Structure 1
Amino acid sequence: MWRCARLSFWPCDGRGVWDKGSPSLARRSIGVCYGVKGNNLPPWHEVVQLYASNNIPAMRIFYPHHDVLEALRGTGIGISLDVEGQFLPSFASEPSVAAAWVKTNVQAFYPAVSFKFITVGNQVALREMRYILPAMQNIYAALSAVGLDHIKVSTSVRRDVLGLSYPPSAGAFSSAMEQYMAPIVQFLAKIGAPLLASVFPYFTYVHNQEGIDIDYALFTSPGTVVQDGEHSYQNLFDAIVDALYSAMEKVGGSTVRIVVSDSGWPSAGAPAATKDNARAYVQNLINHVSKGTPKRPVPIETYIFAMFNENEKTGDEIERNFGLFEPDKSPVYPITFS
């Protein structure tokens, strides 16, 4: 059982024990993405202890790191596990390869490790989208063959799969993406799995600072910014998520829910990337997702990006400054999880 601690995701029952058994509570859980691109990060077992001691109930990892999976045995921490991108072509064409991956990386650790999602492709480029659906189908078939089809198979997409996103009700997949996204969404509806979405208002804001107020990106707007029919939008996160919902509805995915696979704000490396802004965004995100969006006012399972500042990530400085924690396990900024 989870015990009350200083960072808490689950409502306390008053006896010092956190209730994590209700499906409705599980749907509004806040997980954290765990990346390992750093040469000064804590050992795997200490990271798992950091999740547990802070009552973080879910973790996303970007490839099946067996040391991490071993450390997770018996913890009850829910896992969203990514399939490595280089394997997508072989998974798509060879069911036996997908089955072997499931056997080695999922079945070998189940039930001691609590798998929630298998993410087949993370923000895949257009030229590789043709692999996603057949790879998902083969992974799902492999899980089903060993009685593990309760583990949801999906893929993670970015906002740029949309051709239209404003207003949110007009959300639609781009013509280039729709040929791939429509059958993916229909498959998700068939198997009862969510679409995983990477939602970063930070990047939308910095690419259009003249047209977007930072308060709209940080959940701090004092009132409605966008009125879309009966729906009022006070933050950019909701607008992005609802545009994706609208796009799915247009291709037969009205029953598919969205799980936010990663969302965060950098704390250094650019003018808008400050600890104050990062704290505001992440704290407001945590406080907000239990309410859902104007279009879908139900809790949104959300994974914060990321657990640590990772000093070996490439690209702009902001990429190394998305962490909630420093490598010494001290908080980058204070956050209250509730």
Structure 2
Amino acid sequence: MASNSSTPEKMVNIAMATILFGILMARPTGAQGLGICYGMLGNDLPPYSEVVALYQQHNIGLMRMYFPVDDALQALRGSNIGLILDVPREHLQELASSADSWVRTNVLAYWPDVKFRYIAVGNELIPDAGEAQFILPAMRNVYAALSSAGLQNDIMVSTVVHGAVLGTSDPPSAGEFTGAAQAYLVPIVQFLSSTRAPLLANIYPYFAHISDDHVSLPYALFTEPATVVQDGPYSYQNIFDAMLDATYAALEKVGASDVGIVVSESGWPSAGHAAATLENAKTYNQNLIRHVKQGSGTPRRPDKAVEVYVFAMFNENQKTGAETEKHFGLFYPSKEPVYPIDFF
């Protein structure tokens, strides 16, 4: 006859199993530090639920979305995919006055079923866009709205910058923001320091390669076997690390050495330019993913694992600008891979 009582050993085993189950359930899916940007500028893209399923199928645990879409956010409920959600530039002036309604509608309505990680207030608007003046007030208001809901430690508020904010970047230790960028970024990074949030930066070795004859293809693709840049004690074999460390150096020069960086975009197009081939795109993105998986950081920040969002999930046929803009996708809208990629 079975006893209803439990032995001490059995109780310990049950307790340990319960703790382990809780840890596994709390852990985000996919490799830590690797995300894919979900651009939606296409008229042939899969339904939102199928997109989320594709992320899960490939164990992609992080996503960036460039504007809130209710159906997409609904599809993310319960997925455990960590999300960067952008505030579109057309909303910045409104949020510079008050962000309560925007946060309530686009964040609180889905939390905690949707795992927001960062709210990106403006994308690549510093220093030249007219909306740049609204970024910091909007950031403060978004943070205040999240704080009112008790989420200031769960969801971080930042903004996204591009490489042009650096006036100097070679060697990386000389990295420095332009005067025009500093006017906006100094108070912004002071705010980021006070809230312990990172700066979001889009870093593209592809554009460095095609615009500068001194940036060789191997140096851009992570395939250079030897040191290309020796910068004091720091050795660089790829320009991704050099660009990231130049941004860290720029932060140090404005007194923000404690502010981290999340790479909110990086990728390589597969068509539309002589350097934009399937092979180059595959090589860059595969090596970038391996670089992130190693968790070894950069020469200047060797102990700080890099969080990167690869651009982009799909080829988007409604992107404007250069033809390459339509060919950054890892997948076709049919959900077939543009080229084979091992995410892990």
Is TM > 0.5 for Structure 1 vs Structure 2?
yes
The structural deviation recorded for 1:131 is: 1.2
Aligned residues: 316
The structural deviation recorded for 1:113 is: 0.5
The structural deviation recorded for 1:159 is: 0.8
Q: Which amino acid aligns with 2:160?
A: S
Match of 2:150?
147
Runs of 5+ consecutive residues of structure 2 not aligned to the other structure: 1-22
Match of 1:301?
307
SS at match of 2:73: helix
Taking every aligned residue pair, what percent have the same amino acid on both sides? 55
Q: Structure 1 residues 180, 162: closer, same or farther in 2, change over 3 A?
A: same
1:37 to 20, 35, 41: 41
Max radius of gyration: which structure?
2
Q: Are residue 330 (structure 1) and residue 330 (structure 2) matched? A: no
Match of 2:323?
317
Contact 2:172 2:249 survives alignment (8 Å)? yes
TM-score (norm 1): 0.91
Q: Which amino acid aligns with 2:61?
A: P
SS at match of 2:265: strand
Match of 2:200?
196
Q: Structure 1 residues 26, 135: closer, same or farther in 2, change over 3 A?
A: farther
Q: Please list the CA deviations of residues 219-266 of structure 1 after superposition, one character each: whole Å capped at 9, or x if unmatched.
A: 011110000000001101001100100111111211111100010000
Match of 2:296?
291
Distance 1:89 1:173 in 2: 25
Q: Which amino acid aligns with 2:336?
A: S
Q: Which amino acid aligns with 2:199?
A: L
The structural deviation recorded for 1:315 is: 1.3
More off after superposition, 263-272 vs 308-317:
308-317
Contact 2:36 2:63 survives alignment (8 Å)? yes
Distance 2:262 2:222 in 1: 19
Match of 1:219?
222
Contact 1:196 1:259 survives alignment (8 Å)? yes
Q: Which amino acid aligns with 2:327?
A: N
2:181 to 177, 181, 201: 177
Contact 2:265 2:308 survives alignment (8 Å)? yes
Match of 1:119?
120
Distance 2:121 2:285 in 1: 26
Match of 1:160?
164
Contact 1:28 1:299 survives alignment (8 Å)? no
Contact 2:228 2:236 survives alignment (8 Å)? yes
Runs of 5+ consecutive residues of structure 1 not aligned to the other structure: 1-17
The structural deviation recorded for 1:314 is: 1.0
Distance 1:26 1:329 in 2: 19
The structural deviation recorded for 1:212 is: 1.4
Within a 5 Å distance, the mapping from 1:100-139 to structure 2 comes to 100-125=101-126, 126=128, 127-139=130-142
Q: Structure 1 residues 135, 326: closer, same or farther in 2, change over 3 A?
A: same
Q: Are residue 249 (structure 1) and residue 252 (structure 2) matched? A: yes
Match of 1:50?
54
Q: Which amino acid aligns with 2:111?
A: Y
The structural deviation recorded for 1:19 is: 6.1
The structural deviation recorded for 1:145 is: 0.5
SS at match of 1:291: coil
